[in-house]
Structure 1
């Protein structure tokens, strides 16, 4: 019990044919196919939108070992005519 066999499928097909008629079945199948294609294309579009909204994370660069390369500090561009040169810190003790 509970499983549909070949006999049940044939009876179901005959009932569908009687209810809808032979002339309307091709139109019904065509509209069902169009609906399936539309659903598939919409699902693909939603997937593409989701992928574009969440780009894959880029791997973080590994930290450099001390002394291997000088660090570069990036800053926003400024008007260089009013900028004073920065004084480098000294490791030596004060001279006084």
Structure 2
């Protein structure tokens, strides 16, 4: 593993353009670059997702966690996309059930 070019974190300010070098760095190092979708883009049944903690950052973290899980499952060939969607739906249902009890 090689640590690549500088820090990636940035400070974002309203109305100020933001730039990224991630696609270039990913291409240079030959690593795939995946973008996590908004949490609302996951198909988990008819009901909207309701997380235990409020805030956009929590929604972003939840999407990132789901994508990490999906990648792990894919790498270990333990699931396909359809089974992953069912797994995510079951996990979210359990979380929501625990939240309401």
TM-score bracket, normalised by the shorter chain, equals: under 0.3
- The two structures have a TM-score, normalised by structure 2, of 0.26
Which structure has more relative contact order (CA 8 Å, sep 6+)? It is 2
Instruction: Look at both structures and tell me which one has the larger radius of gyration over its CA atoms.
Output: 1
